[in-house]
Structure formats: C-alpha cells, structure tokens
Amino acid sequence: MNLPLTMYKIIRVIFGVLFLIGAVTTITIVRINPTSLIPSRSTVTRDAGTLPCLGQGEIITQELIASNDYFNGFDLMFTHSGRTNTNQNIVLLLDSNYNILHQETFSSLELKEGGLSTFLFEKPVFVGKGNRIYFSLYSINGDANNSASPLINPADTSGNLYISKINGNDIIGSIKNKTRHYQVSLMLQTYKTRYSQFWFIKILLYTLALIISLVIILYSRIQTYLVRIRVFPEWIFLFIALPFSVAFAFITPPTQVPDEGSHFFRAFELSEFQFFNTNKTIPVSLIKLDSTFGFLREKAARKITFDAITSQAKLSLEPEKRVPVIAPDYTIPYLPQALGIFIGKAFASSPLVLLYFGRLFNLLVAIGLIFFAIRIIPVFKWALLMVALMPKTLFLFGSISYDTLTISLSFFAMAIFLFYAYACKRNLGIKDLALLAFIVLLLLFCKPPFFLIGLLFFFIPPKKFGYLYKYVMISIGVVAIALVAYKAGPAAVSYISGHGSAIQAKPASPPPAATSQSLINPEEQLNYIRNNIPGYIRIMLNSVFVVKRSYIIDGFFGLLGWIDVELPKILIYSYLIFMVFAALVLSKENIKVGIAKKALLVLLLALAFVIIATGMYLYATGPGWQLIWGIQGRYFIPVAPLFFMLFYNQYFNPKLNILFSPRRKEYRKAKPKVKPVIFEEIQEKERFFDKSLYLVMAGVCTFTLAYAVYITMVRYYNIL
C-alpha cells in the first residue's frame, strides 16, 4: 500500500523531531569525559628508572597526597624488558586507612611498552583533597622471566615508594608491612572529574544532532538537490585540510611534535645551504628555543599560555653565536621547510617566527601535492581523502617533520601510477617513464621503504607500452634501476655529505630499562634474522599485531603532541571502520581491480611492513629483546591508502545507488529493454548514494578534526 506524499513528509518531520529530542537529551545527560587528556598530577619523565619486575612475591606501593576530591582514573608506565609477558597483575587504590577504593586485574599483554597504560573507573571515586592515598601493584602468577616492570621517576619526591613481601593471602597486611622505602615515584598520572566543563564537545554533538534531524525532515529536497550537483573531492579536501592543518601548526607549541627540534635544526642548515659541510653548525638560539619548551613533552599535566609562546618572538636569532649539532642527514624531505625558513629570514630574525614559517611552507606543499593527487587519481579518491584528513596526518602537516613530504609525495606517486593505469588514454613514452622514475627516486631519498610504491607500475596495462616484450623489458628495467638506486643511493649521499649514510635510520635511544647488554648492535640483530627467520617473524608479528597493536593504531590515527595527546578509542575505531565501509561501497563502473592486482597490493604492503619493522629491529632494538622497539603508527600512513584499496569491488555500489535513487520504483517497474538505460543514467548522472556518502564523509572528517584540535588545546592550554 502506497502512502500519500504528504503523509511521508509528516512521518519524516515526526521522526526528525523525535530524533532531535532524543539526541539532545542523551548528550545533555551522558557524561563526556575524555579523562586521559587533563591529568591533575603527572610524574612522567624521559629520564626513567626501572623497578624489579612484578613477579618476585612483592608488592610495590606508591604513597601520594590527593590533589583533588575525586579521581576518574590513572595511568602507569611499564617496560616489558624485551619479552612477551603474559602474567596477570592487580592494581589497588587505597585510602589513608587502607580501604580499597578501586581494584583492577590486568594482563601484562595489555601494557604498552614505555607508554602510558590507562586504568579508568566506572564512576568517580572520592578520595578527599589533601588526604593520603596509596597505589599498590603486584602480580598473581608472574616470575622473573614473565612479568613487566614499572617505570619510576627517580627525581620525583612527592611521595614515598614502598616494597613489601607478600605474606600469604593478607594483601592489606603486606602493604602495611613496609620492608623497604625509596624517595622516588612511580611514573603515573591521575585524573580528576571535569566532565561537566567539556562544553565545546557538547556543542559539536548538539550541532551534529541538529544537522541529522534536518536531513531527515528535508530529505526529499536534499535528494532533489544532490541529484543535480557535482562533488569535487579535491576541493572538499582543500577546504577541510587547510584550516585544520594551519590550526595544528599554531596551537601546537614549538617542538611538541616528536623530534621536531632535530627536524628544525636540519631544515635551518639547508636554509643556509649547508649541503656539503662536514661540520655543520646552527645558532645557539635554536637550541634554546627547543629546550625552552622541553618541559611540556610527555607531561600532560603541564600547560603553557599563548603569551609565553609569543614572548619567544622577541628573542633574536643571533646567527653569529653557533654550536655544532647532530641533525638528520636527509635532504629532500626538508626542502619545503628550508624554503620557508629562508623566506622567513627576510621578515624576521626570531627562531620562533622561522619555526612557524617552516611549518607553514611544509603544510602548503603537502596540501598542494595531495590536492592534485586527489584530482588526478581516477579511483580511490575518497580513500585517499580520508587518510589525508586523519588527525595524525594533518597534525604532521602542521609541523616541520620530514614525515610530511614523505606522506604527501607517497599519495601523489600513487595517483600518478593509477592515472597512467586507468585514466590515460594514450600510449606511454619516455617522458612518462622518466616522470615515474623521478617520483620513485624522490621517495627513495625521503624514506627508503616507500620506493616500493613504484611496484604500482605493474598496474599499468602492457598495451600502453606497445608490444608485450617491450612491457616486460621496461618492467625488468624499472625493477633493476630501483634496486641499483636503493643500493647506490646511500653511498652517493654519504659521498656528497662526507659522513655516514643518509638513508640508514639512526639508532634510537634504548628503552628506559635497557642495560649495557641491550645496546644497539645492527650487525648482531641482522645475524639473528639470518640464522632464525621463523623466530624473527614471530617477534615481528607479536610486536605489531599483539603487544603494540593498540599503540600503533592510536599512533596511526591520532596520537598527537609528543605522543601524549590521545583521542578516544571510540572515535579512532569508528573512523577506521567508516573508511573500510567507504572503500567497500564506492567504486567506478569502468574500473576493475582484479585478484592479480590485489595480490600485488598485498605484496607491496607486506614488503613495506617488513622493511619498516626490520629497520626498527636493527637500529632501535637491543640484542636479545623479543619485542621490536620504537615502531610507531605514523610510519604506515604513506602506504595506508593501498590497504583500503584491497576492499574495492564493483558489487555493492551499483545496487546501493539503485536502492537510494529517487527513480528506484521506475527502475523496478521498467521493461527489460528500458532497465539498462535507466541503470546507466542513475550510475553516470545521478549517483545519489555516492553523493550522500560524500557529504557524510566530509562531516565525519570535519567533526573528528574539530574534536582533535579542541583536545590539543585542552592538553596544552588552560581553557577549561
């Protein structure tokens, strides 16, 4: 039975109003409290020490004075000492009378290596400001070879730390029997209740609820409008990316991006054309700028003011006062920043201003490359767009990090290869091959693993090179040139720079728990891989997909600041799921990606993964460690669009466009001869489902980025 049109309108109005009332009521009542963002106390430091592991029949107890009446949760830091620890542990929060306020059991598998592991309460716990409280840790079944070790701040004396022997089942009695005590502190952060003050988040949610209700009410008008419009994803990207990347560039305090100080030093060297000097120097003022803001790193309880930042603009560069410095040896990924700093010198002589010039030029080049990448890529436009609009991606764009050009150039390279494979209607010549080779070479000298994107060459049909033998010969030649460049590149750069390999990653600092036996030794690590490939594969898979899975996903999507600004898990996983959904349901009728090409993508991703993980195993992990140290989620962003391409298919999209089309009834009732005509018109001219999804994707990206910018401000400034 068909209802009258006016009845449909009335039903939509009623449903839209009910949705708005329900959403507003829910947003008003439900607590919005991202507790991991505003700790009331933090003892986190980079100069960490290590306690005995939780497996010696002992209880570790930290005594503190409560700084707030209520707690929402706390963070603790651990090291796995290079093992895969599986033991079970218990953490207790006790009041001054040793009453248990919170008890939680956790596995060592859940603990981040050298990162903050969060313990949240179901509801705020009253402790009373100024009262004495205790945090106690012990293992249920751990031993010296299967347990994590808590990290400590040796310089913090805010409370005593006690170690007690466990006496049978009398845990409380054991805690009271303080065998040894030290004037140090566990590396921890505590959180207070401030959920009622997250007004900006609620405004965003109220606005989103209003928009959704209006879409429901005005569905027929929106549908008519969407059928007529054309959507240009590259312009959507530009309008979203530019303001948010600029926002990240200015609200993130100086040198609060991982290793940004070193990146700044290298970009400044290049702005002075120090390409061939063996003894590079920089002004002392740059070192001072980096150290001035060092107190903020990894200490989320510490804040700063905009005035404190802008006051640094008064300090002069003083280029004549110089010191030698060890900075990264890469050149290509620092050219945009160096150009910005070079131009900035014409307007100001302050290191702070030069830093911001470097950030701005870096983001402008990156956004420009991705704008044209989205424009020319014939398929996967929206997969590329959503990866480019992740908070982590735009956060890096608003910095001096060399990851910025690596990511944007990787996306541009993908677009070029896929353009030649699917959109270019002519045969390819020497100029086209030279362009492809040049882009792959740039990627090689940005970050070596990503020259593998050149394997997309095999997406290009043989017929575009003329005869098949010509295609085969060119393919072999491209692979050979890439391999030669990969081997010869480091030697060439080493010769030009006069020192060290510019391509090899520098050894990272060992974990806080590292001893003299865990110093970086790439040769020993490489020998282990050669002699025990199955064992190394287990280490690699266990490190990335088990122990560090959550940390890597967080770092891939939105672990901002100096890895101390965390976004809620629900936001991270909902965005990633939405990207997979979009990759599944968006396609083009005339473009197919078969099994062979998807197998090539799997090979490319697997090789990139192995090279990245192995690089960190060789140059950042000590011999004997059973976990790879230092691997981060952002390393995988340059190849991330290729992962989402694996979900591409031509099954769902045509059906969904028919299902959501205003002409769906006409299509169903049409005669067999007319149906193909209507189908083609819907797929080529209308595509209502696609256009609706485009707008939803733009809204999701905008909301996510607005939230990320706000949370970054909450982290660094007292705005609540």
Whether 679 is in a domain gets the answer no
The domain boundary, picked from 173, 195, 217, lies at 195
* pLDDT tens for each residue of 553-593: 988 998 898 888 888 888 899 999 999 999 999 887 678 88
pLDDT beyond 50 at 489: no
468 — pLDDT class (breaks 50, 70, 90): low
The Cα angle at residue 257 between residues 372 and 158, in degrees rounded to 5:
160
The domain boundary, picked from 141, 175, 195, lies at 195
Q: Report how many helices (DSSP H) and strands (DSSP E) the chain contains, helices first.
A: 25, 15
* pLDDT tens for each residue of 675-717: 888 888 877 778 888 888 888 899 899 989 998 998 898 888 8
Residues of the chain with pLDDT > 90, as a percent, come to 29
Pair (149, 6) in one structural domain: no
pLDDT beyond 90 at 518: no
Helix or strand run (H / E) with residue 181: strand 180-182
pLDDT at position 248: 96
Whether 481 is in a domain gets the answer yes
- Cα-atom radius of gyration of the chain, to the nearest Å? 28
Cβ atoms of 119 and 74 within 8 Å: the answer is yes
Pair (364, 451) in one structural domain: yes
Pair (312, 451) in one structural domain: yes
Pair (203, 290) in one structural domain: no
User: Average pLDDT over the chain, rounded to whole?
Assistant: 83
* pLDDT tens for each residue of 336-368: 999 999 999 888 779 999 999 999 999 999 999
pLDDT at position 479: 62
Pair (187, 288) in one structural domain: no
Question: Rounded to whole angstroms, how far apart are CA atoms 694 and 237?
Answer: 11
Whether 106 is in a domain gets the answer yes
pLDDT at position 241: 96
- Looking at the DSSP bridge assignments, the partners of residue 149 are 79
502 — pLDDT class (breaks 50, 70, 90): very low
Query: DSSP class of residue 22?
Result: H
Three-state SS annotation for 44-110: CCCCCEECCCCCCCEEEEEEEECCCCEEEEEEEEEECCCCCCCCEEEEEEECCCCCEEEEEEEEHHH
Q: 37 Cβ partners below 8 Å, 6+ apart?
A: 300, 565, 566, 711, 714, 715
In this prediction, residues 645-668 reach a mean pLDDT of 85
pLDDT at position 125: 84
Pair (268, 203) in one structural domain: no
Query: DSSP class of residue 589?
Result: T
Whether 509 is in a domain gets the answer no
More confident residue, 1 or 424: 424
Cβ atoms of 639 and 410 within 8 Å: the answer is yes
Whether 680 is in a domain gets the answer no
Question: Rounded to whole angstroms, how far apart are CA atoms 471 and 477?
Answer: 10
pLDDT at position 473: 65
SS3 at position 132: strand
What does the DSSP assignment read for 485-529? HHHHHHHHHHHHHSSS-SSSPPPPPPPTT--GGG---HHHHHHHH
Pair (408, 357) in one structural domain: yes
* pLDDT tens for each residue of 59-112: 999 998 887 777 878 888 888 887 888 899 999 999 989 999 999 999 988 888
Pair (131, 205) in one structural domain: no
Whether 709 is in a domain gets the answer no
Pair (155, 279) in one structural domain: no
Pair (224, 299) in one structural domain: no
* Number of domains composing the chain: 3
Pair (312, 333) in one structural domain: yes
Enclosing domain of residue 23: 1-30+199-229
The domain boundary, picked from 623, 650, 677, lies at 650
- CATH code of 143's domain: 2.60.120
Whether 49 is in a domain gets the answer yes
Question: Rounded to whole angstroms, how far apart are CA atoms 587 and 600?
Answer: 19
Pair (275, 397) in one structural domain: yes
Whether 702 is in a domain gets the answer no
- Looking at the DSSP bridge assignments, the partners of residue 164 are 59
Cβ atoms of 248 and 709 within 8 Å: the answer is yes
